[in-house]
């Protein structure tokens, strides 16, 4: 499969070739092998954890969440959109792009959610991201959702690499239920981000950023897309541009004021 080059608002995006779907077969084999061995209590994927719980409601409607969290803080993958952590102030599990380290601990290990005596959701976290097989049921024990992840990325996501051994990621296209959904990244061979943005229901949304190849982490161009996939009649536009020295060479707001 080859993704064709495209141009949007004067911005030329890069191409990939022979992308592969994230493969969880090796992960499943690894997990089966781990089960055969005697595993240390509260140690998952080689990292020590503590056990926690969150409870709300009463009687048959009591919602109980059982989880594990890292004993020592570890920074989650910065490229994954949804990070799960436990807020010790609010006494609840939260999902966000960033973790408040003052009150947050990173979820890592098995997770179970129960309403009364029925398990309505279960899976496993890997450093704050959903990992492996996750299932959801109604409180009447009817299966309503089953998904598989690899360290925060939906299993259907397309990944291409610079090398045959699949060690240097070139591009990640997030795919969930057959549509583009989540954070998109294109990397330089050095590992630096070249292009980043977000998809919602196959649509590019929010600000997409391009970076100078010769200047580590320095932005080249920022393009504004619709705020969410439901927005209609929105034409993408270049919001800002910078030269290799970091100086702004184009600003949409200033240009708009100047033209008025």
DSSP state string for the chain: -EEPP-EETTEEPP-EES-EEPP-HHHHHHHHHHHHS-PPTTEETTEEEEEEEEEES-GGG-EEEEEEEESS--PPPTT-S-EEEEETTTTEEEEESS--TTTEEEB-EEEEEEETTEEEEEEEEETTEEEEEEEEE-TTS-EEEEEEEETTEETT-EEEESSTTS-SEEEEE-EETTEE-EEEEEE-TTS-EEEEEEEETTEEEEEEEEE-TTSTT-EEEEEE--SSTT--S---EEEEEE-TTS-EEEEHHHHHHHH-
CA distance 16 to 162: 10
Residue written as token pair 């969880």:
24
> pLDDT for 244-259, tens place per residue?
999 999 999 887 777 7
* Res. 12: pLDDT tops 80: no
Mean pLDDT, range 98-123, rounded to an integer: 95
| pLDDT bucket at 78, cuts 50 / 70 / 90 | confident
Q: Output 110 or 216, whichever has higher pLDDT.
A: 110
| pLDDT bucket at 168, cuts 50 / 70 / 90 | confident
CA distance 240 to 251: 5
CA-nearest of 251, 224, 228, 159 to 8 is 224
CA-nearest of 120, 110, 117 to 62 is 117
* Res. 2: pLDDT tops 70: no
Q: Output 140 or 2, whichever has higher pLDDT.
A: 140
CA distance 89 to 100: 11
Under 8 Å CB-to-CB from 197, ≥6 apart: which residues? 183, 184, 204, 205, 206, 207, 208, 209, 225
In this prediction the pTM is 0.67
Residue written as token pair 């450093």:
127
pLDDT at position 224, please?
97
Mean pLDDT, range 143-154, rounded to an integer: 88
């Amino acid at each position: 499969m080859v993704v064709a080059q495209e141009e949007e608002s004067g911005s030329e995006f890069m191409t990939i070739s022979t992308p592969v779907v994230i493969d969880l077969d090796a992960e499943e084999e690894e997990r089966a092998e781990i089960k055969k061995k005697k595993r240390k209590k509260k140690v998952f994927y080689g990292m020590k954890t503590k056990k926690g719980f969150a409870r709300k409601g009463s009687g048959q409607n009591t919602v109980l969440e059982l989880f594990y969290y890292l004993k020592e803080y570890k920074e989650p993958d910065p490229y994954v959109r949804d990070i799960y952590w436990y807020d010790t102030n609010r006494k609840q599990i939260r999902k966000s792009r960033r973790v408040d380290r003052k009150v947050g601990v990173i979820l890592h290990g098995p997770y179970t959610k129960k309403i009364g005596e029925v398990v309505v959701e279960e899976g496993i976290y890997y450093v704050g991201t959903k990992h492996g097989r996750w299932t959801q049921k109604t409180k009447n024990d009817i299966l309503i959702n089953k998904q598989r992840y690899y360290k925060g990325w939906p299993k259907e996501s397309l990944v291409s690499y610079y090398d045959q051994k699949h060690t240097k990621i070139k591009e990640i296209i997030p795919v969930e239920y057959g549509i583009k959904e989540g954070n998109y990244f294109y990397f330089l061979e050095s590992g630096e981000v070249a292009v980043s943005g977000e998809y919602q229901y196959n649509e590019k949304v929010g600000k997409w950023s391009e970076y100078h190849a010769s200047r580590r982490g320095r932005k080249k161009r920022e393009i504004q897309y619709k705020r969410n996939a439901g927005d209609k009649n929105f034409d993408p536009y270049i919001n800002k541009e910078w030269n290799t020295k970091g100086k702004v060479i184009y600003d949409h707001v200033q240009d708009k004021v100047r033209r008025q």
